[in-house]
Amino acid sequence: MQRANSRSRIEAALHRAEICLAACLLGWSAPLLAQDFPPNVSNPDQAITDWRYNDPVFFWRLASQPEDPFEPPDWFYWPDAVIEGAPAPFLPQVEQGRETISPAALRDMEAWAEARKSNVLIVIHKGQVLLERYWNDTRPDQLLNGRAISRSVTPMVLGFAAEDGKLSLDDPIGKFITEWQEDPRGKISIRQLAQNVSGLEVARQMPADQIEGNKDLCLVYCGDVVRAALAYDLVTAPGTRFEVAQENMQLLALVIERATGTPIQTLVSRHIWQPMGGSNATFQFDRPGGTARTMCCMRATARDWTRLGVLLANQGKWQGRQVVPASWIATMATPSARNANFGLGLWLGSPFVEMRGYFEGQPGVIPQSEPFLADDVRIMEGGGFRIVHAVPSQELVIFRHGQFVDDWDTAFLVNTAIRGMQKGKRR
């Protein structure tokens, strides 16, 4: 019944959009009756311009929702904002018998991941591939949705804009988001956006069939993601509360694009993807030829997500080439004032917390059974426990992609690998 009600509401909304569009094409030449207007809209010009009634991309996405909106099929990501790559060979495979992590530990990691609905597990140690496994028909060349892992990519590019003098981390975002020059939101600093202490609201979750006031729905489905991101209100003083608000990273990308005059997908390609030898990856455009969505759901191959981890573990280097400045990697990994487990677009494994949280003052959601066996674990993390672990002190990178499971333990893969190194040393 709930699905039927949801579908009927969507169909009604589509019908209202068709009425509005038809009237627009006719130039409102026919007399309008009260029922010809959308509910609560008495001004036909408002109905024409309001995204709730006149955004064909939004209504296509709304009416075409896949069965599982968190794991949509490839076609639903249309249109692609391509991050052009320059494919180069991946890291070398370790020779059998020369593993630097014990085979027993690698088997334990593989079995644990397989039992927890994983699609991919890749383990890199000392620049070599020790383990690379795929399940559920996942392929090495397949583009995988990183979900919130995407939010660590834009902050990497931020460093280049800062190094080139295009912006400063303490600049107010109103310097670039001119729509907010005279607005209190314009005083938020770029650093505060990147550290998730902007003070912008975390919109309350609403069902997809409820369009009125559903800001997050518009952020992920609307054909104008800039307008959607600018709709969020300031609810706390900037710098006083850590909250992972989705719009933060979308606004950060907007700042970078306006400061540099270059689309974010071009910057990622130029500064990161091609220098590290990645294959083509994609953000999603909000509409054909529009603006890239960066707050979620960038897609890349498993090996390319792993390459990003190698950059984090190697102080920005890929096989001896400095891709991201080492000083910027250090900046990203410096704990922020409001959350010691978050730096600048990057999660940090120390200090230990049993349930790491996304919202200050609320219960945590990321379970961990024990402290990491290294103090410098750096984490790129997305929904469903898809995760990149990078441990510089151990020359270790682990990428896991898969589905949500109830018995996840963030410490297991990293600590099993490190314990396997220790056993290897004693043999």
For the stretch 214-236, what's the b/e string if a residue is b when 16 or more beta carbons lie within 10 angstroms of its beta carbon?
Answer: bbbbbbbbbbbbbbbbbbbebee
* pLDDT at site 39: 55
- Residue 41's pLDDT band (cuts 50, 70, 90): low
CA distance 411 to 373: 9
* pLDDT at site 36: 52
Per-residue pLDDT, averaged over 354-378, amounts to 96
* 398 closest CA partner among 320, 312, 315: 312
**Contact criterion met (CB below 8 Å) for 135 and 119:** yes
Per-residue pLDDT, averaged over 107-112, amounts to 98
3 state SS of 121: strand
Work out the percent of the chain whose per-residue pLDDT is above 70.
86
Per-residue pLDDT, averaged over 369-385, amounts to 96
pLDDT over threshold 70, residue 140: yes
Summarize pLDDT for 218-248 with one digit per residue, the tens. Answer: 999 999 999 999 999 999 999 999 999 999 9
Answer yes or no: pTM beyond 0.85. Answer: yes
CA distance 49 to 28: 14
Residue 322: strand pairing partners: 317
pLDDT over threshold 50, residue 80: yes
What are the residues whose beta carbons fall under 8 Å from the beta carbon of 327, sequence distance 6 or more? none
CA distance 346 to 329: 10
Question: How many C-beta atoms surround the C-beta of residue 241 within 10 A?
Answer: 18
CA distance 408 to 365: 11
* pLDDT at site 53: 67
CA distance 67 to 65: 7
pLDDT over threshold 50, residue 2: no
Q: Match 């910027």 to its residue by tokens.
A: 328
Tell which wins on pLDDT, 413 or 50.
413
Summarize pLDDT for 151-209 with one digit per residue, the tens. Answer: 999 999 999 999 999 999 999 999 999 999 999 999 999 999 999 999 999 998 888 88
- Residue 52's pLDDT band (cuts 50, 70, 90): low
* pLDDT at site 48: 61
Tell which wins on pLDDT, 29 or 240.
240
* pLDDT at site 422: 72
* pLDDT at site 415: 98
pLDDT over threshold 80, residue 257: yes
- Residue 43's pLDDT band (cuts 50, 70, 90): low
pLDDT over threshold 50, residue 16: no
pLDDT over threshold 80, residue 33: no
Summarize pLDDT for 306-345 with one digit per residue, the tens. Answer: 999 999 999 999 999 999 999 999 999 999 999 999 999 9
Q: Match 């590290």 to its residue by tokens.
A: 276
Per-residue pLDDT, averaged over 2-8, amounts to 42
Angle at which helices 247-260 and 153-163 cross, to 10°: 30
Summarize pLDDT for 53-69 with one digit per residue, the tens. Answer: 678 899 899 888 888 87
3 state SS of 193: helix
Work out the percent of the chain whose per-residue pLDDT is above 90.
78
* pLDDT at site 45: 66
* pLDDT at site 22: 34
What's the DSSP call for residue 184? G
